[in-house]
A = this chain, B = another copy of it.
């Protein structure tokens, strides 16, 4: 049994918990939190909740620690700290800061002899893998990534900060015509606006100025100004009834050419349609937690990403079983 700890019990922590229950070779030994442990109740029977300060005493009890905090402030601090004590895995997704985060974690992991995986999930994660494979197979080509239809928590949060907004759910929606053109191998040059639209479902506070809210959303720099955005005002009941899920998904597409005259076109597409973003992300992370443990057993220490991990390490099955049934 691979003994796993979860640090942070938000949506992602709960997704990891659910994934662990589907993997018979993995055991959840504890959920760790910065909150008061009594205030957290987990769904797996007989799993204790500890304050995160307790982790330092549990080095011998945990094979892999899964960090379920946020990329903005939690992970840049937590991952290097816990890399000194455990094999750890995180879902750090601030693309621009990955090189720095990698270097910090790598130094700590190498010194401590742990195996740590950063930026695991689906993007970064499975989407990155598919970008890499497709780029290696078709060196002359072009990459496209489409996200959605799905809930963007960052955009939902941005709208919630607007005065008069009680709640918001923001859906990112790929433009079908753009995807069709890419799949047809037309290599279109697409602006931000041409690739995705945004749709906001907003619960306004009583007496709020709806026109002003809509205007503020549509003109918000970085988040909405470059997109065609639709805003719907709904009741709190409608929000609860119709928008309580966290679906997401998307497609990574690479088109390229081969042949002595580059006369043949090819399209490689990887796509995801997910009812629950945090549960799917948690499921990816749990498979990679198995890899972290096994690579550590084999002495492969330091910081890794999905690029550095042979796929067989993700599976509980033997090489012979995999070759016989999945190759």
Contacts and interface: CB of A to CB of B under 8 A. Distances in A.
Interface of A: 15, 17-19, 21-23, 43, 95, 98-99, 102, 119, 124, 126, 128-133, 135-140, 183, 258-260, 263-276, 279-280, 282-284, 287, 290, 305-312, 314-315, 319-320, 322-324, 326-327
A319 B308 contact: yes
A323 B98 CA distance: 7
B137 A283 contact: yes
A259 B20 CA distance: 10
Given A305-B323, A322-B132, A271 B269 contact: yes
A317 B283 CA distance: 29
Nearest to A265: B275
Given A22-B258, A135-B326, A269-B273, 18 more contacts: A18-B258, A22-B139, A99-B323, A124-B327, A136-B287, A138-B283, A258-B275, A258-B282, A263-B275, A266-B275, A268-B270, A268-B271, A270-B270, A271-B271, A306-B311, A306-B327, A307-B326, A309-B311
B98 A327 contact: yes
Contact of A132 (B22, B135, B311): B311
Contacts of A260: 17-18, 21, 43
Contacts of A135: 315, 326
B314 A102 contact: no
Interface-centre pick from A119, A271, A320 (highest chain B CB count, 10 A): A271
A136 B314 contact: yes
A262 B183 CA distance: 33
